[in-house]
Amino acid sequence: MMDGQRTPFQAYRYLLPALVLEAGFVFAPLALSLFYSVHRVRYYQLGDFNGVQNYLDVLSHRLFLNSFLVTCSFSLMALALTFAVGFGLALFLNRDTSGSILLRTIVLLPYVIAMLVGSMLLKWIFSTDAGLVPLAAAWFNITSPTILADPDYAMAAMVANGIWRDSAFAMVMLLAGLRSIPPNLILAARIDGAGSFMIFRRIMLPLLRPAILITLIRLLLHFANVLTFPLILTGGGPNNATETLALRIFRIGFEDFDLGKANAMAIVLCLFNIVAVILLLAVFRKTRGGQSL
């Protein structure tokens, strides 16, 4: 402003739309969740204030530790493998040949169809009676295990669901990062005598850091909170082997109808997200390692 009459009020006027959205979709639900989490809420009936009792109950439940560990191991495996596959695809499809464009579209398909439909599709593929995987295994004379009935295979199936769906997301994010590297830098490095591996390690990887970090965080948050995969694909089984924190919240809230405890659990999951992201950032920092002389 030319007249220097910039008041705080004017500044907030520009921030207002964003603030309203944040308030409506983040702060209000969070506050409501906090409110419910310290009350008895049964069958949608708001009861008495009961302090931290809900928290104590959910944290001391015999299945809590199980679902915490399930969530951790699923998130880590899905994150690592999805990122690796997505990165591989991005590097492989970072060209503008008609083949690459077609392949990119195909890779993107699992990401654009509804999660629910995707997981049901995979459930069918993995099913014992008519599934494609057991059929293919039989073709090669391998007696296939009953995938969704075995704890380890069920977890693997869930991770596969994550890779199958979300490596497309990782690919898109990383492709955008790759595209933002000025081509001249790569040419300059080639003339400077660097081979493909050195160009990848010393030029591309460092310049991709922002894209990599964003991809990792988005994937981590997605996997740590995902409900559809366990709910549809495995039902949390067998024997709770794939029951994630998100699925537990769902069950406490909408099967036991104990919304007080469910909200306490949701707040716990929220804290879990924050800690996970902080840990990821810390690990990421460590990898910087300058190429000093």
Partner 1 sequence: MIEGSGASIEFRGIGKRYGETVALADLDLTIQPGEFVSLLGPSGSGKTTTLNILAGLISADSGSIMIGDTDVTYLSPDRRGIAMVFQNYALYPHMTIAENLAFPLQARGRNLSRLAIKAKVQDVADTLGIGHLLARYPKEISGGQQQRVALGRAMVRDPKVFLLDEPLSNLDARLRLKMRRDLKALHQRLRSTIVYVTHDQSEAMSLSDRIAIYQGGRLQQCGTPADIYRRPANAFVANFMGEREMNNLPGTVVQTGGGVVFKAEGLDLTLPSTLSGWARFHDRAVTLGIRPQGVQIGQRADATQCEAVLRLVEHAGTEQFFYAQAGGVELSGAAAPDTPLAIGDRVSLTLLSRELYLFDTASGAALVQGGDLAA
To the nearest 10 degrees (0 to 180), the angle between helices 64-92 and 205-225 is 140
To partner 1, the closest distance from the beta carbon of 191 in angstroms equals 5
219 CB-contact burial (10 Å; exposed 0-12 / middle 13-18 / buried 19+) = buried
β-pair partners for 39: 49
Task: Tell me which residue of 142, 208, 195, 132 sits closest to 164, measured CA to CA.
Answer: 132
Q: Which is nearer to partner 1, 149 or 188 (CB)?
A: 188
Q: Which is nearer to partner 1, 60 or 291 (CB)?
A: 291
Give whole-number Cα distances, 288 to 18, 79, 197, in Å. 33, 20, 18
To partner 1, the closest distance from the beta carbon of 181 in angstroms equals 10
- N- to C-terminal Cα separation, the chain: 48
Tokens of 100: 């690459």
To partner 1, the closest distance from the beta carbon of 287 in angstroms equals 13
Contact positions vs partner 1 (CB under 8 A): 182, 184-185, 187-195, 198, 202-203, 206-207, 290-293
In degrees, rounded to 5, the angle at the alpha carbon of residue 57 between the alpha carbons of residues 51 and 63 is 155
Residues with Cβ within 8 Å of 203's Cβ and at least 6 positions away in sequence, in order, are 181, 185, 186, 189, 194
Q: Which is nearer to partner 1, 199 or 265 (CB)?
A: 199
Question: What does R_g of the chain's alpha carbons equal in angstroms?
Answer: 24
Q: Report the residue count for the chain.
A: 293
Q: Which is nearer to partner 1, 6 or 288 (CB)?
A: 288
To partner 1, the closest distance from the beta carbon of 91 in angstroms equals 19
Backbone angles phi, psi at 140, to 5 degrees: -90, 15
To partner 1, the closest distance from the beta carbon of 275 in angstroms equals 29
User: For residues 124 and 214, what is the distance between their CA atoms, to the nearest angstrom?
Assistant: 33
To partner 1, the closest distance from the beta carbon of 198 in angstroms equals 6
229 CB-contact burial (10 Å; exposed 0-12 / middle 13-18 / buried 19+) = buried
Q: Which is nearer to partner 1, 188 or 279 (CB)?
A: 188
Q: Which is nearer to partner 1, 208 or 267 (CB)?
A: 208
Q: Which is nearer to partner 1, 135 or 185 (CB)?
A: 185
To partner 1, the closest distance from the beta carbon of 204 in angstroms equals 11
